[in-house]
Structure 1
Amino acid sequence: MSQPRWAVVVPVKRLSAAKSRLRGALSGVPHEELALALAADTLRAVLACPAVAEALVVTDDARVAAVARAAGARVLPDLPDAGLNAAFRHGAAHTSGGWVAGLTADLPALRPGELAGALLAAHNSDGVRRFVADAPGTGTVLLAAPPGIALDPRFGVGSAAAHAASGALPLSGDWPSLRRDVDTADDLTTAARLGLGPRTAALLATGHPAHSAS
């Protein structure tokens, strides 16, 4: 039996409002450039993943939309002031109705093979939504739903527990680059140790981290 190919929904906020806790993480680098690099490198890995048939970026930011289209993603305008979970639902509603995953846009070290491994594990889930927690274990980086099952995202503070409470089951694979979302300067330092995508790596080479993880 061949494995399914997935539609992956990646919401991206307006760059001026995105990743507020990361502001100032690289001295000499405009915040919007760093936020755009994180999203661009995440999307690059998604589109390079053999398990992915389509990437759908939900955004109202013109620069993000241009980068996404140039990379080969489909772009859907965000719903005004509706929030992250509404953006995930909006994107999922515009897929073909097959296997759907929602992915955060702040995974600059993401490896396509790790994403493929997580999606394969999610496929073997007997019709149940599955999620991948972030490295600390409290947040969520990936939420996956089989055909006929609503994505039902619960992203935000404490989202791993919220997804579990909603009936989604955790995936426990060893996927460090998938679990390493970047919210702070320390997160960025840790992601750099894993190996950043080209756009974020280029910014790190020109800027200076505000501080490093201990």
Structure 2
Amino acid sequence: MTTMRTEPDTGPPVSWSLVVPLKPLGLAKSRLAPALGGTARARLALAFAQDTVAAALACAAVRDVVVVTDDARAGAALAALGARVTEDTPAAGLNAALVHGARTVRTARPGAALAALNADLPALRPAELERVLFAAAAHPLAFLADAAGIGTTLLAAGPDASFTPCFGGPSRARHAAAGAVELTPGAVPGVRRDVDTPADLRAACELGAGPHTSAALAALRGAAVPAPRTSPTPPG
């Protein structure tokens, strides 16, 4: 049985390095195939990552963002936002990419506080992410379950804590079994809402997609995707 703990809104002041993995765009978001062709999926995958990284960099609790990707186009676009990009030299899957990114951070800053964050959070809000990271700072290891309650969207390892990600499939149970505390920091829907399916995309749009995703969806008008709900100001 998974144990959940209610967390305070704030924790010890910690400045986090986020590691964001992104597979080559041509291989991304295959579960959107019923609604979108390959070119459209690649465009949306990049837009999701751009909104995720932009929101993360705008979060007061985030020191920097390291993107692990072998996709040159994505790397250039995310570097332009201020992320540090490193190649996925292990090329051995999601968790190996995250470990590589974490090693990159801790080689430069031993003992850094790390958090792995999914790249497909188009409705991410900096304030929500800050709440999650403040709650995570109270524990050596902590994670946030996705909206479905099966996977994980964020895994945090505090200063000097070992970092052993178990993403993929039912990762919520695996992270809990590995000793990470499941965070319940209140309403943070944008941090939980990753996008794999057309239904996920509709739900993210209901929350309010970021500007890159909104622009990509507008350009794909006529495809079988929902129209985004946008607000006058960027997510914050």
In structure 2, what residue type is equivalent to 1:39?
A: A
Mapped pair 1:141 → 2:148: no
Cα deviation code 1:33-82 (max 9, x no counterpart): 11111111111111111110110000000011101110011011102430
Q: Is the 8 A contact 2:70 2:88 kept in 1?
A: yes
Secondary structure of residue in 1 paired with 2:149: coil
The runs of 5 or more residues in structure 1 that have no matched partner are none
- Kindly state the Cα deviation for residue 18 of structure 1 after the two structures are TM-superposed: 1.1
- Within 5 Å, which residues of 2 pair with 1:202-213? 202-206=215-219, 207-208=221-222, 210=224
Q: Is the 8 A contact 2:69 2:85 kept in 1?
A: yes
Mapped pair 1:42 → 2:65: no
Secondary structure of residue in 2 paired with 1:150: coil
TM-score (norm 2): 0.84
User: Which residue is 2:206 aligned to?
Assistant: 193
- Alignment length (residue pairs): 210
Distance 2:75 2:118 in 1: 16
In structure 2, what residue type is equivalent to 1:22?
A: L
RMSD: 1.8
- Within 5 Å, which residues of 2 pair with 1:59-138? 59-95=69-105, 96=109, 97-125=111-139, 128-138=140-150
Distance 1:62 1:143 in 2: 26
Distance 1:84 1:63 in 2: 19
Distance 2:82 2:34 in 1: 30
- Kindly state the Cα deviation for residue 4 of structure 1 after the two structures are TM-superposed: 1.5
- Distance change in 2, residues 1:25/1:200 (3 Å): farther
- Kindly state the Cα deviation for residue 25 of structure 1 after the two structures are TM-superposed: 3.1
- Within 5 Å, which residues of 2 pair with 1:10-21? 10-21=20-31
Distance 2:157 2:123 in 1: 24
